[in-house]
Chain A
Amino acid sequence: MADVKFLKVTKKFNENVILNGVSVEIKDHEFVVIVGPSGCGKTTLLRMLAGLEEITAGDIHIDNILVNNIHPSKRQIAMVFQDYALYPHMTVEENMSFALRLMKMDKREISARVHEAAAILQLTKLLKRMPKQLSGGQRQRVAIGRAIVRKPKVFLFDEPLSNLDAKLREEMRVEIAKLYQRLNATIIYVTHDQVEAMTLAGRIVVMNHGIIQQTGTPIEVYRKPDNLFVAGFIGSPTMNFLHGKLSAEGEKLFLKNDSLTLYIPPFLLADGARNAGREVVLGIRPDDVLVGSGTRENCSEKIEGVLEVSELLGHRENLYIKAGENRVLATVEAFFNQSPGSKVSVRFNYRNMHVFDKKTQQRINN
């Protein structure tokens, strides 16, 4: 097992910059999920690590060895592809043993490794089948099995679950998590699905426009997003954003826009007077929008609004509320017994509020 280092890795296609100086260090035995919208360069980064894509500039190290010009098979990695890439003309067993056979490994050793991996993945009965005869989930497991038998230093997963239906995806997610505990290997996992990122990762790397936006544990990324992009990308349903201008009245700081004036307490944003006049965006997760009239500690004043739509999800309910010109989504316990058009009042929880500078998009509270 080994650590992986990216040093100012850059990728250009003609004049298009896909990756712009990505630097990240991945420690031994770490499960790192690289997440971002499609086209953010995450898959390119993974493919460069695998040696399938040329590196325009920068260095990639695996286990402190520079691998920029090393053949994919010599990098001690294994990769699980988005479309599985099972060789259609080989049986499951042949698929799994292909790499080992190419290494001219001893036949008994090959068979032992394949059967061990098959047992882990419950594929033993399917070893003689062709990929065509397998279901989506089974193919996925074969693809993982093909990676396991090689005992690589690093596992690379390229959106492995995106071709599965919702239910199977959840199952496989759990299986991958179990597998990680069992293998205790370095895993780099690329996905566009933030739920997978949150549930699987030991550490999340959020990317956008070829740049790393934030690196951290799932909790860090969720609780303290570094910028507006991360705030909006991580978390479901999406965070509420209130745009406005800070203005000071005496000692007190307020966020003001056309239809809203909101007190900003000093524990949220210190140095109030210095920030006066700044254009900011306030971020509040739907869970932190409290509906009802009762007061609670560390909450804002009541804000009156009108319920536009309510969506029942089961044990939770999404309320789409319009307060003046601001639209706010609140997630509350079911059942919220009011019909659209009725008046509701909401409060915001200051403890979990995020303040971003509108121009730089960076977080300014701590």
Chain B
Amino acid sequence: MNKEAAVYRRKKLLKYLLIHAVIITVVVVCVYPLLRILSISIRPGDRVISTDLSLIPSGADFAAYLRLLKDTMFLRWLWNSLIITVVTSFIGVSLASTAAYAFSRFKFPGKKSGMILLLSTQMIPAGMLILPLFLMIMKLGLMNTYLGMIIAYSVSSLPFSIWILKGYYDTIPRSLEEAALVDGTSQIGAFYRIILPLSTPALSIAFLFNFTTAWNEYLVARVVLFSAKQYTWTLGLFELQGQYITQWGMFAAGSMLVTVPVLMVFLYSSKWLLSGLTLGSVKG
């Protein structure tokens, strides 16, 4: 009896050790590239290009960061990205918030087809619309400007945002608005005074989604922006990385500066984003 229990215990222990071993291997594969960038970014200038695999290089310094901030327009690129992204997200969320309210609370002719239209826009490959958008922006004379970028980005996350927000509004009991109506607000007043303040979690998730989409965008920026001064950080980094030999250290430094905040925001919000994603697709 005892012997059997011991065997069982040993088997169980072995199983857990195995699981941990496999997972740790995969974790290493996942995290290693990020650590490599970190280690490259703090290598001293003369040893950036080497076959050295140690994570903390000898003679580590922050020279690459300093050079990145001093010699390139990295801060300017970040600023460009920030402006474009914030304005885009702001427009996207404000348009989505009212539209989602209409879908969540009202019955009207065309509601169903509107929802279907919304979902079907998600099927148009993003890459497909770049060309006509590019031509429109060119014809409007907005090449190489913030405005052109904002126009191109502003509705790209709109259907998804509407979908997330509608799902959230649906969970807010209607009796709250009815109470507000009895208390003396109009329907719109109930929306602004009751529903919007209650939806801050969903609104911030929609904002974050808009934000990350625009923040990480590369392909539209590539064709609309052509002077280095107007670049977003994605274009700037690509430029640096292209000159593999000379700028590798600065590319790594820039990557770290951009990635760390994005990672933190993402890890904070991933649960929400995911529930929105699956919710939207399951229902659709």
> Contact at A83–B198, with CB atoms within 8 Å?
no
Residues of B within 8 A of A146 (CB): 179, 183
Residues of A within 8 A of B176 (CB): 85, 87-88
- How many cross-chain pairs have Cβ atoms below 8 Å apart between A and B? 54
Majority DSSP secondary structure for residues of B touching A: helix
CA distance A47 to B184 in the complex (A): 16
Given contacts A85-B173, A89-B197, A89-B198, contact A98 B182 (CB under 8 A): no
Residues of B within 8 A of A50 (CB): 178, 182
Say yes or no for B185: interface residue by CB 8 A criterion. Answer: yes
Q: How large is the interface on A (under 10, 10 to 19, 20 to 34, 35 or more residues)?
A: 20 to 34
Which of A56-109 touch B at CB < 8 Å? 71-73, 77-79, 81-83, 85, 87-89, 98-99, 102-103
Say yes or no for B119: interface residue by CB 8 A criterion. Answer: no
CA distance A128 to B184 in the complex (A): 23
CA distance A87 to B173 in the complex (A): 10
> Contact at B198–A85, with CB atoms within 8 Å?
no
CA distance A50 to B179 in the complex (A): 10
Say yes or no for B175: interface residue by CB 8 A criterion. Answer: yes
Residues of B within 8 A of A73 (CB): 181-185
Say yes or no for A52: interface residue by CB 8 A criterion. Answer: yes
> Contact at B175–A99, with CB atoms within 8 Å?
no
Residues of B within 8 A of A81 (CB): 175, 178-179
> Contact at A85–B179, with CB atoms within 8 Å?
yes
> Contact at B185–A83, with CB atoms within 8 Å?
no
Say yes or no for B49: interface residue by CB 8 A criterion. Answer: no
Contact pick for A79, options B173, B182, B184, CB 8 Å: B182
CA distance A79 to B181 in the complex (A): 10
CA distance A273 to B210 in the complex (A): 84
A150 to chain B, nearest CB (A): 8
Residues of B within 8 A of A51 (CB): 181-182
CA distance A85 to B178 in the complex (A): 8
Given contacts A89-B197, A89-B198, contact A102 B183 (CB under 8 A): yes
A14 to chain B, nearest CB (A): 11
> Contact at B198–A88, with CB atoms within 8 Å?
yes
B162 to chain A, nearest CB (A): 23
B194 — nearest CB in chain A belongs to which residue?
Answer: A87
Binary CB contact string for chain B from 210 to 245 against chain A (1 if under 8 A, 0 otherwise): 000000000000000000000000000000000000
CA distance A236 to B198 in the complex (A): 43
Binary CB contact string for chain B from 179 to 200 against chain A (1 if under 8 A, 0 otherwise): 1111111100000001001100
CA distance A99 to B185 in the complex (A): 8
CA distance A73 to B183 in the complex (A): 6
* Interface set of B (CB-CB < 8 Å, partner A): 173, 175-176, 178-186, 194, 197-198
Could you list some 21 contacts between A and B, CB below 8 A? A47-B178, A50-B182, A51-B182, A52-B178, A72-B178, A73-B181, A73-B184, A77-B182, A79-B179, A81-B179, A83-B175, A85-B179, A87-B180, A88-B176, A89-B198, A99-B182, A99-B184, A102-B184, A102-B185, A146-B183, A150-B183
Kindly list 13 other residue pairs between chains A and B, CB separation below 8 angstroms, not including A47-B178, A98-B180: A52-B178, A71-B186, A72-B178, A72-B181, A72-B182, A73-B182, A79-B178, A79-B182, A81-B175, A85-B179, A87-B180, A88-B198, A146-B183
